[in-house]
Amino acid sequence: MDADELIVNLKKSNCSGLEVEPRTVNRYMIHTGYTYPDGDELHILLVKEDNGWEFTDEGHTMMWLSYENLNITDSRRTLLDRTLRTNGISLIDGSLSIVIDTDSVDSISLSLRSIIQAEIQIADLLYLDKEMVRDTFIDDLKTTFSTSSISDRCSYNQKIIGNDDVEYYADVYIDSKIPILVFGMHTSLQCTRATVAMLSLNKGTTQYMFMAVFDNNSQISARDRDIAINAAVKTAIGINEAVKGAEMLMDLQ
Name the phi and psi angles at 246, rounded to 5: -65, -40
Query: What digits encode the pLDDT tens for the residues 152-198?
Result: 999 998 899 887 778 889 999 999 999 999 999 988 878 888 998 99
- pTM tops 0.75, yes or no: no
3-127 in CATH: which number? 3.30.1460
Per-residue burial over 69-84, b = 16 or more CB atoms within 10 Å of its CB, e = otherwise? ebeebbbbebbbeebb
Question: Closest by alpha carbon to 204, among 245, 167, 150?
Answer: 167
Is 89 within 8 Å of 122 (Cβ atoms)? no
Q: What is 131-252's CATH topology? A: Trna Endonuclease; Chain: A, domain 1 (3.40.1350)
Query: pLDDT tier at 134 (50, 70, 90 boundaries)?
Result: low
Q: Where are the alpha helices (DSSP H) in 147-241?
A: 188-201, 222-231
Is 220 within 8 Å of 214 (Cβ atoms)? yes
Coil, helix or strand at residue 77: helix
Query: What digits encode the pLDDT tens for the residues 34-57?
Result: 888 778 889 999 999 888 899 999
Instruction: Give me the residue spans of the domains in the chain.
Output: 3-127, 131-252
For residues 194 and 211, what is the distance between their CA atoms, to the nearest angstrom? 10
Per-residue model confidence (pLDDT) at position 130: 47
For residues 253 and 246, what is the distance between their CA atoms, to the nearest angstrom? 11
Is 131-252 in the same CATH topology as 3-127? no
For residues 12 and 20, what is the distance between their CA atoms, to the nearest angstrom? 12
Per-residue model confidence (pLDDT) at position 46: 94
DSSP single-letter state for residue 242: H
Query: pLDDT tier at 246 (50, 70, 90 boundaries)?
Result: very high
